[in-house]
Amino acid sequence: MKTLAALALIPIALATSVSAQTTATRVTKVARTATTPEDLYGPLYRAVELARVFPDSKTFADMIPRDPPSAILTAYRAENPQGRTALVAFVARHFRTASETAQRKLVMRDHIKALWPVLAKPPMAVPTGSSLIPLPQAYVVAGGRYQEMYYWDSYFTMLGLKADGETALIESMLANFVSLVERYGHVPNGTRTYYLSRSQPPFLALMMDLSTVRDPATDARRLAALKAEHAYWMAGTTCIDATGACQHVVRMPDGSLLNRYWDARDTPRDESYAEDVATTAAAGRPVNRDLRAGAESGWDYSSRWLRDGRTLATIHTLDIVPVDLNSLLWTLETAIARRCTAAGDTACAADYASRAAARKVAIAKYLWSAAERRFVDWDRSTRRPTPSVSAAMLYPLFSGLATPDQATATANLVKTRLLGTGGLRTTTVRTGQQWDEPNGWAPLVWIAVGGLDRYGKTALADRVARRWIATVSGFYACTGRMVEKYDVESGKAGGGGEYPVQDGFGWTNGVTRALLDRPAVADAEATTCANPARATTKPK
């Protein structure tokens, strides 16, 4: 965790012993003898700055020469680059930034380890009027625009923390999540007040499995938090009306209960207010709760939630019964049953085991298409599976819900539809939304690799992992950066969505670091930039 630098204090006696005149003379002398970048590079410096090679004039002033300044000036006079384009190319050949220098001294594994203190935040007081939710212990943020703790991101970040031995951060983050459940009855989307009306994919039980702490008091507190989280997701059971749904709960045609994503508010999201107002106007109908539910899914946004499979204005997330969410809730129910057994509470264990068994039957009936031989999302409005083929179909394998035959069918579909040149495609359609083709995401790679491994599809799991590591490490070798998402066809940073691609990045670091310990990926890591086109993707 990062610490605050100590302030250097000047002794008062020393300060008062120097006369004002002597001090002024020294300052003037230093100013006259110091060599500034303009002094050093003269016409080159003025040409670069006046051509606005960089939007911020300070950028070039702080750059580090790759060659001796005299050699750079000799090359400048010989080449005489004219115009901004020529100057950009000249500067790229002869200078580098301080951050680039620091990053490229490290292999990717060490770079990830060095980023944990950068992404770690101490518990801190929250100013009055701030949207930040206070946390009692240290935590890790994703990076970029995300300077708060997020729910499902944190599980994948923790995988890397565990691989790097950062057990104290894992435990402190778990304490924070338990604290959030105790305060609010659920884990919010993120630690901002505007996220409190919804959650995110429920990974808390899986986070707890990463912990090494085993004592009765902690175990009891964590079990209570898991029960509270389950109650949050199932709270709509008692209010289902003629529509067949209430809050997160959906009654299926045979009377069984499954879950959907949902949000307690139906206003534009604070963090995407203008975007939601525009989408509602384009839709010509109320869609704020559908947009919010899509944000709760973590897949904001994807063709999975779009009625026409293409256009955000057709979003209808509330109609969709998702396979990933229900797989995770089955994992939660089985985890509670297991923990109740360990605590000697046989009635609790039997109750949650029964809930899990009922959910498993409903998933097999509604979220598996025997005709198409794939796991599916189910559309309440059409009463049939959606056409979306997505990486979400790997969640039943990751959770252990699939039969061997279903796992084989899923693996075959991964090979034919989702396996890209540089990793795992999110879906099979291009919509411009960030959770669609050609983007690949670290959490889905982990789910795929873990799910395929679980059913003995190790060779395919290795292929997915190797291609992902090659993409991430190749981009890092060219740019010195880890980013939120990747284009698994081109090897560049991913695109689409409501905001520019973000650097950091918590879950990319976590999943990549964990996968680097996989023997089959040992020779997949790129150490040099084999595709300079990747470096043309600029940080935002």
Helices (H), 323-432: 323-342, 346-366, 395-399, 404-413
Is 248 a domain residue? no
Q: Is 229 a catalytic residue?
A: no
The reported pLDDT for the residue numbered 192 is: 96
Q: Note whether 207 and 144 are same-domain residues.
A: yes
Q: What is the mean pLDDT of residues 475-503?
A: 93
Taking alpha carbons only, the member of 226, 233, 229 closest to residue 343 is 226
Compute the CA torsion angle 441, 115, 161, 414 (nearest 10 deg): 20
Q: What is the mean pLDDT of residues 271-281?
A: 97
Confidence band, pLDDT 50/70/90 cuts, at residue 100: low
* Highest averaged pLDDT of the listed ranges 59-68, 115-124, 287-296, 473-482: 287-296
Query: Tens digits of per-residue pLDDT, 427-437?
Result: 999 999 999 99
Checking if the pLDDT of 103 tops 90, the result is no
The reported pLDDT for the residue numbered 392 is: 98
Is 70 a domain residue? yes
Query: Tens digits of per-residue pLDDT, 318-372?
Result: 999 999 999 999 999 999 999 999 999 999 999 999 999 999 999 999 999 999 9
CA atoms within 13 A on the CB side of 304: 33
Is 130 a domain residue? yes
- Looking at the structure of the chain, the number of domains it has is 3
What does the DSSP 8-state code read for residue 331?
A: H
Q: What is the mean pLDDT of residues 260-269?
A: 98
Q: Note whether 61 and 171 are same-domain residues.
A: no
Provide the domain limits for residue 60.
36-96
Q: Note whether 180 and 74 are same-domain residues.
A: no
Picking from 214, 245, 271, the residue at the C-terminal end of a domain is: 214
Is 256 a domain residue? no
The reported pLDDT for the residue numbered 458 is: 98
Mean pLDDT for the chain overall? 91
Q: What is the mean pLDDT of residues 247-253?
A: 98
The reported pLDDT for the residue numbered 416 is: 98
Give Cα 148 to chain centroid, integer Å: 12
Partners of 503 in beta bridges:
483
Confidence band, pLDDT 50/70/90 cuts, at residue 82: very high
Which CATH number goes with the domain that contains 429? 1.50.10.10
Determine how many CB atoms are found less than 10 A away from the CB of residue 383. Answer: 10
The reported pLDDT for the residue numbered 98 is: 63
Q: What is the mean pLDDT of residues 146-163?
A: 97
Strand ranges inside 7-162, DSSP E: 64-65, 95-96, 120-121, 139-140
Q: Note whether 161 and 62 are same-domain residues.
A: no
Picking from 214, 231, 258, the residue at the C-terminal end of a domain is: 214
Checking if the pLDDT of 21 tops 60, the result is no
Confidence band, pLDDT 50/70/90 cuts, at residue 471: very high
Is 378 a domain residue? no
How much of the chain, in percent, has pLDDT values that exceed 70? 91
Picking from 96, 125, 141, the residue at the C-terminal end of a domain is: 96
Choose the catalytic residue: 300, 319, 377, 462.
300
Choose the catalytic residue: 484, 487, 503, 525.
484
Confidence band, pLDDT 50/70/90 cuts, at residue 255: very high
Q: Note whether 63 and 126 are same-domain residues.
A: no
Q: What is the mean pLDDT of residues 298-312?
A: 98
Q: What is the mean pLDDT of residues 296-316?
A: 98
Is 434 a domain residue? yes
Is 137 a domain residue? yes
Token duo for residue 243: 């529509």
The reported pLDDT for the residue numbered 289 is: 98
Q: Note whether 120 and 90 are same-domain residues.
A: no
Q: Note whether 396 and 539 are same-domain residues.
A: yes
Q: Note whether 486 and 454 are same-domain residues.
A: yes
Q: What is the mean pLDDT of residues 236-244?
A: 96
Is 366 a domain residue? no
The reported pLDDT for the residue numbered 105 is: 57
The reported pLDDT for the residue numbered 136 is: 97
Q: Note whether 189 and 61 are same-domain residues.
A: no
Determine how many CB atoms are found less than 10 A away from the CB of residue 230. Answer: 21
Q: Note whether 88 and 122 are same-domain residues.
A: no
Query: Tens digits of per-residue pLDDT, 436-454?
Result: 999 999 999 999 999 999 9
Q: Note whether 58 and 140 are same-domain residues.
A: no
Task: Report how far residue 421's alpha carbon sits from residue 431's, in angstroms, rounded to the nearest whole number.
Answer: 19
∠151-177-329 over CA atoms, to 5°?
A: 60
Query: Residues of 189-227 as b/e, b for ≥16 C-beta within 10 angstroms?
Result: bbbbebbbbbbbbbbbbbbbebbeeeeeebbeebbebbb
Checking if the pLDDT of 24 tops 60, the result is no
How many H helices and E strands in the chain? 22, 16
Q: What is the mean pLDDT of residues 200-206?
A: 98
Q: Is 38 a catalytic residue?
A: no
How much of the chain, in percent, has pLDDT values that exceed 90? 79
The reported pLDDT for the residue numbered 536 is: 53
Q: Note whether 450 and 414 are same-domain residues.
A: yes
